[in-house]
């Protein structure tokens, strides 16, 4: 018994020391695992969703890095959807599809539309015996119906006619036969640029080679749309307008008709008006009353139109941003000209405030919008160049 007792006593300190060492190693290992755990991306474990059924669970971000390791929401985020689809080859996911259509096979995606009228019967493939190549829009009130009737007759059957009605009167236009095949959009007291931003998205007007966005008070006695477009193509114009007959004082010399040529792309203005002969208003400039855009130019211009600036003032000076070189691709067609009658019809749709006539309030808003647009464009350009590390303080205007 004495021998056994001595053996037990001699081994006890050794076992105690081993236990202490083991415990210490375990604590150190656990600490290391705990410190490194936030950098582990649980999403990389590819855990099946069945293990986490409809639970709102979020992993707290690393307090040192401020980054979240994982977030699982029961309403499924876009990123988690991408991960799920990429891990399931039976699901469709096409990143090159338009945004929101990634789950569709490309062959079923229709990214563009048009204003072509279709039947309610028969085969869809037989609906259209002819597709117009061009689009012309007028923003109209019924009081200008005779002027619009005369203008529409200057556009061939190769044009889709679209009327934006700011006075709410549409059915009365059916007295004209062409109106029965036209597209009518009616929203009271809105401007053509409000309509253009909402109804002339580039993917909607994509079938049309050229888009005319015109006012209602234009005299067209000396204008023919097909002949106009021949000259536009001949001179390589992406943005254009007909020359203005100088029957009344014109604001800009650039848009004044010249009788000795087909097209002009530059002019001389009042002293000090042009910092560069290739910049507006001496070149690369047309007014917003009767602009004509190529399909590609309009895609750019549409994105530049501000959603809340409805009068479009300032756009004419910025159109040059959308074509290059602008002083060669923006011009005035002199051989096909129009007369701006200056009827203040839309101006009278305003409201009288503080004793001012309705048109005065509209004009004040126009001027404010011009200033706002200039500021937004300048700020956007400065922010871009700053982000690119480009110093523009000593450069010429862009």
In sequence order, what DSSP letters do the residues of 133-177 get, joined into one string? SEEEEEEE-GGGHHHHHHHHTTS-TTEEEEEEESSS--GGGGGSG
CA terminus-to-terminus distance, the chain: 104
Q: Which segments of the chain have a pLDDT < 50?
A: 1-11, 37-77
Q: What is the Cα–Cα distance from 217 to 142, expressed in whole angstroms?
A: 12
| 3-state secondary structure at position 256 | strand
Q: What is the Cα–Cα distance from 304 to 293, expressed in whole angstroms?
A: 14
Q: What is the Cα–Cα distance from 266 to 7, expressed in whole angstroms?
A: 112
Q: What domains lie within the chain, and their CATH numbers?
A: 2-40+52-75 (no CATH), 131-350 (3.90.550.10)
Going by C-alpha positions, the residue among 108, 106, 130 that lies closest to residue 117 is 130
pLDDT given at position 246:
83
Q: Rounded to the nearest 5°, which phi and psi values hold at 212?
A: -95, 125
pLDDT given at position 149:
97
What are the helix (H) ranges across 37-93?
78-86
Q: Are strands 239-244 and 330-340 parallel, antiparallel or unpaired?
A: parallel
What are the helix (H) ranges across the chain?
2-36, 78-86, 145-152, 192-199, 225-234, 295-304, 315-318, 326-329, 358-387
Q: Are strands 330-340 and 218-219 parallel, antiparallel or unpaired?
A: antiparallel
Q: Percent of the chain beyond pLDDT 90?
A: 66
Q: Going by C-beta distance under 8 Å and a sequence separation of 6 or more, which residues neighbour residue 226?
A: 156, 158
Q: Rounded to the nearest 5°, which phi and psi values hold at 206?
A: -55, -30
Q: What is the Cα–Cα distance from 85 to 226, expressed in whole angstroms?
A: 51
pTM given for the model: 0.76
Q: What is the Cα–Cα distance from 58 to 110, expressed in whole angstroms?
A: 38
Residue entry with tokens 């009130």 = 141
pLDDT given at position 346:
66
161 neighbors 182 (Cβ within 8 angstroms): yes
| 3-state secondary structure at position 12 | helix
| 3-state secondary structure at position 173 | helix
Q: Going by C-beta distance under 8 Å and a sequence separation of 6 or more, which residues neighbour residue 48?
A: none
User: Token pair of 219, please?
Assistant: 């005299």
Cis omega (within 30 of 0) for bond into 281? yes
Q: What is the Cα–Cα distance from 156 to 43, expressed in whole angstroms?
A: 61
| 3-state secondary structure at position 95 | coil
Q: What is the Cα–Cα distance from 112 to 131, expressed in whole angstroms?
A: 15
C-alpha Rg value of the chain to the nearest Å: 34
Q: What is the Cα–Cα distance from 355 to 4, expressed in whole angstroms?
A: 117
289 neighbors 215 (Cβ within 8 angstroms): yes
């Amino acid at each position: 018994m004495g021998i056994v007792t001595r053996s037990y006593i001699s081994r006890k300190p050794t076992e105690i020391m081993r236990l202490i060492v083991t415990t210490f190693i375990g604590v150190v290992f656990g600490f290391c695992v705990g410190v490194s755990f936030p950098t582990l991306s649980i999403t990389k474990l590819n855990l099946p969703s069945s293990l986490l059924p409809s639970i709102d669970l979020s992993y707290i971000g690393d307090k040192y890095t401020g980054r979240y390791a994982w977030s699982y929401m029961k309403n499924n985020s876009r990123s988690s959807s991408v991960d799920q689809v990429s891990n399931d080859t039976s699901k469709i996911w096409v990143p090159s599809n338009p945004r929101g259509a990634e789950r569709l096979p490309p062959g079923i995606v229709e990214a563009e539309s048009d204003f072509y009228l279709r039947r309610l019967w028969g085969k869809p493939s037989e609906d259209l015996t002819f597709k117009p190549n061009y689009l012309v829009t007028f923003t109209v009130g019924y009081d200008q119906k005779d002027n619009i009737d005369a203008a529409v007759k200057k556009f061939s059957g190769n044009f889709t006619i679209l009327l934006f009605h700011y006075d709410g009167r549409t059915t009365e236009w059916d007295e004209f036969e062409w109106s029965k095949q036209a597209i009518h959009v009616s929203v009271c007291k809105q401007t053509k640029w409000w309509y253009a931003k909402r109804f002339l998205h580039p993917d909607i007007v994509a079938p049309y080679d050229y888009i005319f966005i015109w006012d209602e008070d234009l005299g067209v006695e000396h204008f023919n749309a097909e002949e106009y477009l021949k000259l536009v193509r001949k001179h390589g114009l992406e943005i254009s307008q007909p020359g203005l007959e100088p029957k009344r004082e014109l604001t800009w010399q650039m848009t004044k008709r010249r009788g000795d040529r087909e097209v002009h792309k530059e002019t001389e203005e009042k002293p000090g008006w042009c910092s560069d002969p290739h910049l507006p208003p001496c070149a690369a400039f047309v007014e917003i009353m009767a602009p004509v855009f190529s399909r590609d130019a309009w895609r750019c211009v549409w994105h530049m139109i501000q959603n809340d600036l409805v009068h479009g003032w300032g756009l004419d000076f910025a159109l040059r941003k959308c074509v290059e070189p602008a002083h060669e691709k923006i011009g005035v067609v002199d051989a096909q000209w129009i007369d701006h009658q200056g009827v203040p019809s839309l101006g009278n749709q305003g409201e009288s405030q503080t004793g001012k006539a309705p048109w005065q309030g509209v004009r004040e808003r126009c001027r404010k919008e011009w200033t706002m647009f200039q500021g937004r464009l300048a700020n956007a350009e400065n922010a871009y160049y700053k982000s690119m590390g480009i110093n523009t303080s000593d450069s010429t205007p862009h």
